[in-house]
Amino acid sequence: MKVVQTVVPDELHKKLVEISKKEGKPIKQLVREALEEWITWRSEIIDDSFLNLEPVDFGVKTNSSKLEKILYGEAKK
């Protein structure tokens, strides 16, 4: 197990203290839980095969100049 130290802004520390009192958990436990959740969330994004897809050229020419008109209709003047 490793010890990690960092400096946090006063406002963040104030919020941590409030949550610590409310949940009855020490700040170090809250930070550890937050770090675990962040790492899990970050790993899921990196490993998300949909988000890592490369564009495919289907050989079809498209004209995106009228895309907003098609999606949102005529602009009212």
pLDDT tens figures, 33-77: 999 999 888 877 766 777 778 888 888 887 788 888 888 887 665
Q: Model pTM?
A: 0.56
**Separation of alpha carbons 28 and 34, rounded Å:** 10
b/e sequence 26-43, b meaning 16+ C-beta within 10 Å: eeeebeeeeeeeeeeeee
Locate the domains of the chain by residue range.
17-53
Q: What is the pLDDT of residues 6-34, one digit of tens each?
A: 999 999 999 999 999 999 999 999 999 99
Number of H helices, E strands in the chain: 3, 0
